[in-house]
């Protein structure tokens, strides 16, 4: 069990091991000490995704916290249920500076970053501090501490643990990939993941740009809940990124990204095309953009079908020697009776809103493609 030795100083018994030159410590610490010694590096959409200070943890969910805390009180303190009073799963922590370890004793004098277990720790805090369950203060919690040589190693461990063994939001994983590129360069990530970094940068710019039809409308990785519950936010960054993949793939396949020296430039090319396209859509059917919550043009039916339509328009316009500008996109889009009809996009109608699945988005794309009149 841990014993307090100083302000932000806790000693506990631990076993040290190494993996590929990295020191790991495994042991047990009291719940109250664990709470006081840990901190969480949350993603913050108010700073750039590739900023060196950008975090990587998803936001805490209050319902998960109270559920865990209530379970601990009932199962461990009150002896209810069939868990046997156990809470054995280890939390995974990171030490950003070398740990003090001697003769089986670990002395912790600096805050440890939570890689895996933030809701468990928050549940303990809820039970002890909010509910006043002092019986849990000394409850032993198993930990694994990894000494990391740089913060990026810590971030990627989060991705491995939560992206491989668990389900984690795609936009958060993509943001960590983007941070990896910013720190180590394009070659640091697998070739198959390059598109994720490019579209992540595109989505971030669309959300931040005051001139964009998407300004402040995208639910970013650090924002909890669903678009329906956030007021102004109408679409998840995850959905936007996924819908952009065919656009990036087409530009890549036909060589339009070949001259880009890096992923920043690649993202810039995709952004210019997508931004011009959505500004053209806003021009030909302004009503739904003025009331996005009441229409589906900026929700998944519109997002997936219209980005698929963009991959249809790009080659048509290229062959016709028409640059991918807002003005030229308008020339094609304004001929569609469906696209230009605000009621077609209304959420309470039986038209675009009726296409509510990936198969439906494909069918909606087919309808929209037939409605435009491509000009040579």
DSSP sequence for 129-159: IIS--GGGTT-EEEEEEEE-SSHHHHHHHHH
Q: How confident is the model at residue 230 (pLDDT cuts 50, 70, 90)?
A: very low
Q: At what angle do helices 300-319 and 263-284 cross, to 10 degrees?
A: 100
pLDDT given at position 174: 74
Look up residue 260 and give its DSSP letter: -
**Residue length, the chain?**
376
Q: What is the pLDDT of residues 74-108, one digit of tens each?
A: 999 999 888 888 899 999 999 999 999 999 999 99
Q: What is the pLDDT of residues 334-376, one digit of tens each?
A: 999 999 999 999 999 899 999 989 999 999 999 999 999 654 4
Q: Which residues contact 94 (CB under 8 A, 6 or more apart)?
A: 112, 113, 114, 115, 145, 146, 147, 148, 154, 157
pLDDT given at position 297: 97
Q: How confident is the model at residue 283 (pLDDT cuts 50, 70, 90)?
A: very high
- Choose between 332 and 183: higher pLDDT: 332
Look at residue 5 and tell me whether its pLDDT is greater than 50. no
Q: At what angle do helices 300-319 and 237-253 cross, to 10 degrees?
A: 20
Look up residue 291 and give its DSSP letter: S
- E-strand ranges in the chain read 3-6, 9-19, 22-30, 38-39, 91-95, 100-102, 105-108, 112-116, 140-147, 218-219, 235-236
Q: What is the pLDDT of residues 167-215, one digit of tens each?
A: 556 666 777 777 777 777 878 778 888 888 899 999 999 999 999 999 9
Look up residue 258 and give its DSSP letter: T
Q: How confident is the model at residue 46 (pLDDT cuts 50, 70, 90)?
A: confident
What's the rounded mean pLDDT across residues 241-250?
96
Give the residue among 136, 114, 112, 115 at the shortest CA–CA distance from 124: 136
The residue to which tokens 């209810």 are assigned: 80
Look up residue 356 and give its DSSP letter: -
pLDDT given at position 180: 74
Give the Cα separation of 224 and 221 in Å (integer): 8
pTM score > 0.75 for this model?
Answer: no
Look up residue 94 and give its DSSP letter: E
Q: What is the pLDDT of residues 102-149, one digit of tens each?
A: 999 999 999 999 999 999 999 999 999 999 999 999 999 999 999 998
């Amino acid at each position: 069990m841990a014993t307090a030795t100083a302000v932000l100083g806790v000693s506990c018994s631990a076993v040290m091991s190494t993996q590929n030159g990295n020191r790991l410590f495994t042991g047990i610490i009291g719940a109250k000490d664990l709470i006081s010694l840990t901190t969480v590096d949350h993603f913050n959409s108010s700073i750039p995704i590739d900023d060196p200070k950008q975090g990587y943890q998803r936001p805490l969910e209050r319902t998960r916290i109270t559920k865990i805390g209530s379970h601990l009180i009932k199962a461990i303190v009150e002896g209810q249920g069939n868990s046997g009073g156990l809470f054995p799963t280890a939390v995974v922590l990171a030490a950003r500076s070398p740990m003090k370890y001697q003769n089986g004793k670990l002395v912790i004098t600096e805050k440890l970053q939570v890689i895996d277990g933030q809701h468990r720790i928050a549940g303990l805090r809820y039970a002890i501090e909010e509910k006043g369950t002092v019986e849990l203060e000394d409850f032993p919690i198993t930990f694994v501490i990894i000494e990391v040589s740089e913060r990026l190693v810590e971030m990627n461990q989060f991705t491995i643990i939560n992206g491989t063994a668990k389900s984690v939001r795609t936009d958060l994983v993509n943001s960590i990939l983007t941070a990896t590129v910013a720190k180590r360069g394009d070659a640091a990530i697998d070739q198959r993941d390059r598109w994720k970094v490019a579209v992540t940068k595109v989505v971030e710019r669309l959300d931040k740009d005051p001139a964009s039809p998407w300004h402040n409308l995208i639910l970013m990785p650090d924002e909890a809940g669903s678009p329906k519950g956030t007021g102004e936010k109408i679409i998840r960054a995850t959905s936007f990124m996924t819908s952009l993949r065919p656009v990036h793939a087409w530009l890549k396949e036909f060589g339009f990204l070949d001259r880009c020296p890096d992923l920043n430039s690649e993202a810039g090319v995709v952004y210019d095309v997508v931004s011009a396209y959505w500004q053209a859509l806003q021009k030909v059917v302004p009503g739904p953009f003025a009331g996005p919550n009441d229409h589906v043009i900026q929700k998944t039916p519109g997002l997936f079908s219209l980005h698929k339509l963009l991959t249809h328009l790009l080659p048509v316009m290229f062959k016709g020697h028409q640059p991918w500008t807002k003005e030229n996109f308008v020339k094609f889009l304004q001929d569609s009776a469906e696209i230009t009809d605000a009621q077609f996009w209304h959420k309470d109608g039986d038209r675009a809103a009726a296409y509510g699945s990936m198969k439906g988005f494909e069918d909606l794309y087919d309808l929209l493609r037939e409605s435009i009149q491509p000009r040579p």
